[in-house]
Amino acid sequence: MNSKTTNICCIGAGYVGGPTMSVIAQKCPNIKVTVVDLNEERIAAWNDDDATKIPIYEPGLSAIVSEARGKNLFFSTDVEKAIDEAQIIFISVNTPTKNYGKGKGMAADLKYIELCARQIAKIAKDNKIVVEKSTLPVRTAEAIKSILENTGNGVQFEILSNPEFLAEGTAVSDLLNPDRILIGGETTKEGQLAIQTLVDIYANWVPIDKILTTNVWSSELSKLTANAFLAQRISSINALSELCEKTGANINEVAKAIGMDSRIGPKFLKSSVGFGGSCFQKDILNLVYIAKSYGLNEVADYWEQVIIMNDHQKKRFSNKIVQTLYNTVASKKITFLGWAFKKDTNDSRESAAIYVADDLINEQAQIAIYDPKVSRKKILSDLDYLESRTYKENSKNVASFDNPYDTCAGAHAIAILTEWDEFVTYDWARIYDSMQKPAFIFDGRNLLNKSELEKIGFVYHEIGT
């Protein structure tokens, strides 16, 4: 199959599959790339004539989609046809944490992956390379292989692990200039050939020395480990932020001072209200579950502490709001600026904002929310997912507005949950005038300028100072 790849497909048109395939299509004009999904609404949005209406907000993505779509990039719900035609099939479906049965709350739910494998086995009439793109627990490839071999019709399958390291909000630049591409495959001759086929695709735009090949299990474990290390840095700095608040040290100064040690490095040391996103918590829980399943209890406990600290950081933030507002927020308007788990994305999976809002609603606060990219519908479905109260009760406690000034008017306090650039540029004096006094700001991202806000009259609290 080497260098003859003309047709690939990707199952799952989400935050990973959509951007990744768009960039592959743009960089490999001779390969037909088809992205399929069961979700008709999502596919229709990817096909919207107005490329700014695509379902995922990522800077730079709509331009790439409009350039390649209809030429060699296609979005479709016809999963069977796409599988049949493709030489390489990427699996990029969601693998959420299981919310039932064995491993509930920890293990990854592989039911969508299994469904894909069964569908590929049913359709395939010629040899295929199947690529795991979704983050998967170690040894998932083995399960996929077993399904394909036992239900297939004599067709040869090679399974590769090719984890995605893009971060949301910077997906396009991460895909165009990755730190590395990781491809894991079997050590057999066929396995090595399959690896080379995938290397040839990435080599169209990624320098060859950045393309790393390993065995399948190393590749799968590296993905979990990379996310666990990144999250660990955030929990480490967040743990110290609480100590700073007690001692008079300043977390921003501490982070700068330690980050200048080249062995530590400056990135991922930004103290915050807590990390969110679809990957960090899920992948660490997965790592913990895997360690436990091998009886490695100390290893499991070590990594679990990263999650415990993150939960504590979110809780600490909501507690601080309640305490500062004279121990009651009942019926008070608290404004949230930001709902997404980070800036430049419309994704709110596992966003700290959800948990902080849930705590404050328990305290009977009225939450007013403004996020430049997240809809009220999404906000309510995020809260509903926690099952803390009925949908109707959540709706009563949550208001959303389409501009920040109305969202802030009359509020007792503003909480910054996402570091959107535009928040910095607001007319803060105007906001101050429209609020209850004292006017509090709880900056969960250390985003705003403390001395300027204090000059206006705000009582300003940030993390770790």
14 lies in the binding site for ligand ADP (CB under 6 A): yes
Q: How far is the CB of 279 from ligand ADP (least distance, A)?
A: 8
Residue 14 binds which entry of ligand ADP, ligand UDX, none, CB below 5-8 Å type-dependent: ligand ADP
Helix (H) or strand (E) holding 19: helix 17-27
Q: Any known ligand binding at 134?
A: yes
Q: Could you tell me the two tokens for 52?
A: 């700014």
- Phi, psi (5° rounding) for residue 420? -55, 135
Q: Which is nearer to ligand ADP, 270 or 282 (CB)?
A: 282
Q: State whether residue 35 is helix, strand or coil.
A: strand
Check if the beta carbon of residue 202 is closer than 8 Å to that of residue 181: yes
Q: Any known ligand binding at 107?
A: no
Site for ligand UDX in 200-229 (CB under 6 A): 227
Q: How far apart are CA 397 and CA 229, in angstroms?
A: 37
116 lies in the binding site for ligand ADP (CB under 6 A): yes
Residue 270 binds which entry of ligand ADP, ligand UDX, none, CB below 5-8 Å type-dependent: ligand UDX
Q: How far is the CB of 236 from ligand UDX (least distance, A)?
A: 10
CA nearest to 308, candidates 320, 296, 297, 316:
316
Q: How far apart are CA 445 and CA 238, in angstroms?
A: 11
Q: State whether residue 129 is helix, strand or coil.
A: strand
Size of the site for ligand UDX (CB under 6 A): 19
Q: How far apart are CA 50 and CA 52, in angstroms?
A: 5
Q: How far apart are CA 441 and CA 337, in angstroms?
A: 10
341 lies in the binding site for ligand UDX (CB under 6 A): yes
Q: How far apart are CA 52 and CA 55, in angstroms?
A: 9
Closest-approach residue to ligand ADP (CB): 14
Q: Which is nearer to ligand UDX, 227 or 232 (CB)?
A: 227
134 lies in the binding site for ligand ADP (CB under 6 A): yes
Q: State whether residue 161 is helix, strand or coil.
A: strand
Q: State whether residue 122 is helix, strand or coil.
A: helix
Q: Any known ligand binding at 3?
A: no
Given the rule CB under 6 A, which of 22-30, 62-70, 111-119, 275-283 is the region that contacts ligand UDX? 275-283
Q: Which is nearer to ligand ADP, 17 or 444 (CB)?
A: 17
9 annotated active-site:
no
CA nearest to 342, candidates 372, 313, 316, 366:
372
How far the first Cα of the chain sits from its last, in Å, is 58
Q: How far is the CB of 112 from ligand ADP (least distance, A)?
A: 4
Q: Catalytic site residues? A: 279
Going by the annotation, the residues of the binding site for NAD(+) are: 12-17, 37, 42, 93-97, 134-135, 168, 279-282, 349
Query: Which residues are at the interface with ligand ADP (CB under 6 A)?
Result: 11-17, 36-39, 42, 79, 92-94, 112, 115-116, 134, 278
Query: Which residues are at the interface with ligand UDX (CB under 6 A)?
Result: 164-168, 227, 230, 234, 268-270, 272, 275-277, 279-280, 341-342
